[in-house]
Structure 1
Amino acid sequence: MNEIQFIDSVAELQDLCQKMKSEPWLAIDTEFLREKTYYPKFCLLQIATLEWVACVDPIALEGHLDELFSIINDPAIIKVLHSCRQDVEIFYQLSGKLPAPVYDTQIVAPLLGFQENTGYAMLVSGFLNINLSKIHTRTDWSQRPLSAEQVQYAADDVIYLAQIYQMMQQKLQALGRQDWLKEDFEQLMNEELYDIPPENAWLKIRGKNKLTGKQLAIVQVLAEWREQVAKKDNRPKNWILRDELILDMAKLQPDNLQSLSEIRGMNDGFVRRSGKQICQLIVKAKDLPGLKLKSKGSNKKTQQQEAVLDILTGVVRLRADENSLNPVILATRKELEQLILDDQDSPLLHGWRYSMVGQELQELLLGKVSVSIDKQSLSLQAIE
């Protein structure tokens, strides 16, 4: 096993950067904390290839990471991560850039027979027959010094990731699927995934689907205010104002401190600090046009629609069996409903699912393909 380099001096970092520049790909992971902050606190960076592994201490090297980030953001180097969004968020927050191109092993896993959203430990077990320890799952990575055991635990996340990446690439190539994930990876480089515009923060609040259009306008205004305050003060959003209180205020629409303070669960300190501004925002929002949520279609379907869904489900089962996949990973019934509604958010219209079955289902719905059935099999033929 390669010795783990622990990088906590500028000279060591410069040497590491020179080594990184010549690599075609890097396995990367981060350790961070965000329980008490809006932005994640960057505590450790793990980097590996098949030949070497290093752990970089960004706390000790604060103010000296520009060259490191320039390499991480180099478009000539593939960054291999697992469930990469939080890692990418840190890089975007600190460097202002997205580290394209990325290769997310969690996105690759379903194409190779694993379940959706497969965890890293399951991948390590499945590919390498190694069971990872969970002893340091709750470690406070901001504390120093880190023990040798903690460093090894962190380094394992990239040591095995580098090996899994090579194995995945070989399997994808053997299956002829090496290019199927290009769009999926490109979608991870959407800035709005990592820096939500405050005016769109309301879309993340659960339970809003039961509100009226006017109430949704209030939710939008309050969620935007909360997002701005959370960023400014670097505090978790729910420390400032919980989602359920935003929903309650949208329903009750308090316009004075007394009525605001009577809402169940409302903190007296919050009312004193921000109550007047909140009431003003609610009054203002009541005059705004009502908002509409994207329609998900009627839950009640005709027998004809159910029959169409059954046929699409049969095609999905056929293609899943041909590719040794669980049909649910390829497409759920709800996703097939989205496809019938021509919902562009349907995963069947993007990435590897489109290549495997989505395009074919689209053509079937447009009458460009027909279904043929005998007693033992189902097949599709293009209509001349």
Structure 2
Amino acid sequence: MMREHFVANESDFLKSCELIAKSNVFGFDTEFVSEESFRPELCLVQVATPEDLFVIDAIAVGSLGAFWDLVTDGKRNVIVHAGREEIRICQHLSGKAPARLFDIQVAAGLIGVGYPAGYGTLVQTFAGTRLSKQETLTDWRIRPLTSDQITYAFDDVRYLLECHEKISARLLELDRIDWAEEEFADLQARSNLDEPIGERWRKVKGTGGFDRKRLAMVREIVAWREEFAAKRNRPPRTILRDDLIADIVKRNPQKAQDILAFRGIQHRDSEEIMAAIQKARALPPDSLPLQDDTKPDAPQVGLIGQVMAGLLGDLCNRKSLVPGLVATSSDLRELVRSKIDNTSLSGNNSLAKGWRLKHVFPVLMDFLEGKTSLRLARVDNESPFEYDDSKPKL
């Protein structure tokens, strides 16, 4: 029976960190609220060691520096599930990334269990327990916490180490520990990499027909919005919606008064938005953003990509992998385009690096180059295709 500790003051928190530090492995999860602030507001941290469970009230305790030191010092394995936000919170609050990270969601995809599998699914698969979903929509800022909320929080990490142990054993059987470490490093890199503010404007919809000057206006307004939101700790969308940005630029206002015609915009904001527009207008031509010159794919790109998705799915069934972790449909289409255009894959393509490049890419390329033919052999089999290594006849 694991000991349970609810931690709501600094003294108990420091004692808990001393207990956690004695273990060579621990798992953790967080509960936070992100809908009303620029950065997530951390409310709880749940921790599991082989002997103890901790629910740490981050609001009551305050600074959790001693815990983040344990996460980042590299002296013990740190287990998470779908840990992108945990990585980002750790990075934001400590200035450092977690060390020796193991994400059971990612690892499950490498043994064919599913990806992205929810925590409840993995607990049911590896611990044989069905978790309650009763508190999934809880506002974790509200105090006091109820007994049901605290139980839910404990359960959120209660089976984390058991799942890790069983998934790790299967990874070892399949000789994929190196694959997993590669995936965890990539997860760290992607989680820590905030999208540059200067590029977020590209996500604003309704700008497809804009010339370069108007695109520059969108870019400058979005940059102002992000900076303003960060200072006020508010979600950017509450400062100025994307659709309003597109509409403002479309009408090409000449003075701040013109911007006030849009509902919900304050006088001070209109002045700053107008300043952003004027900044864009003053840019020289070589500083203006380029228009999207993406050409539509040739019809065969989508068709071949769909066939290759079937091939990838069959390969993953045979090799205890999950297609969604191995490659996206965009990766496959880019592979087809690279063959048609005789170009190299971009560095962002999953198939262009690591274990995928070594073990998956050659199989797909053999098919794409006509070196392997594929036929439907048995519809009642999980791997229904058969392969012929000779060039298919027409």
TM range (shorter): 0.7 to 0.9
Does 2:87 match 1:80?
A: no
Distance 1:245 1:350, change over 3 A: farther
Give distance in 2, aligned partners of 1:294 and 1:353. 30
Paired position in structure 1 for 2:347: 344
Give distance in 1, aligned partners of 2:198 and 2:329. 32
Distance 1:247 1:57, change over 3 A: same
Comparing 349-358 with 123-132, greater Cα deviation is found at: 349-358
The alignment yields a C-alpha RMSD, in angstroms, of 3.0
Counterpart residue type for residue 56 of structure 2: V
| 1:179-328 mapped onto 2 (5 Å cutoff) | 179-190=178-189, 193=192, 195-206=194-205, 208=207, 211-263=210-262, 266-267=263-264, 270-288=265-283, 289-292=287-290, 297-301=295-299, 303=300, 309=305, 312-313=308-309, 315-325=311-321, 327=323
Paired position in structure 1 for 2:147: 148
Give distance in 2, aligned partners of 1:207 and 1:174. 51
Q: Tell me by how many angstroms 1:238 deviates.
A: 0.9
Give distance in 2, aligned partners of 1:375 and 1:229. 58
Counterpart residue type for residue 348 of structure 1: L
Give distance in 2, aligned partners of 1:139 and 1:373. 50
Paired position in structure 2 for 1:121: 120
| 1:130-169 mapped onto 2 (5 Å cutoff) | 130-169=129-168
Does 2:51 match 1:51?
A: yes
Q: Tell me by how many angstroms 1:374 deviates.
A: 8.0
Q: Tell me by how many angstroms 1:48 deviates.
A: 0.2
Distance 1:7 1:359, change over 3 A: farther
Give distance in 2, aligned partners of 1:152 and 1:68. 21
Comparing 314-323 with 215-224, greater Cα deviation is found at: 314-323
Paired position in structure 1 for 2:176: 177
Distance 1:45 1:374, change over 3 A: closer
- Per-residue CA deviation, residues 105-135 of structure 1 (Å, 9 max, x unaligned), is 2222322334432222222223333222122
Count how many residue pairs are aligned between Structure 1 and Structure 2. 373
- Per-residue CA deviation, residues 165-199 of structure 1 (Å, 9 max, x unaligned), is 11111111112222112232112333774644432
Q: Tell me by how many angstroms 1:275 deviates.
A: 0.4
Distance 1:2 1:373, change over 3 A: closer
SS in 1 for 2:275: helix
1:9–1:60 contact (8 Å) kept in structure 2? yes
2:366–2:372 contact (8 Å) kept in structure 1? no
SS in 2 for 1:60: helix
Counterpart residue type for residue 50 of structure 1: P
Q: Tell me by how many angstroms 1:256 deviates.
A: 1.6
TM-score, length-normalised on structure 1?
Answer: 0.85
1:23–1:77 contact (8 Å) kept in structure 2? yes
Provide the identity percentage: 31
- Per-residue CA deviation, residues 51-77 of structure 1 (Å, 9 max, x unaligned), is 2111112222214x2222111111232
SS in 2 for 1:343: coil
Distance 1:190 1:329, change over 3 A: closer
Give distance in 1, aligned partners of 2:35 and 2:101. 26
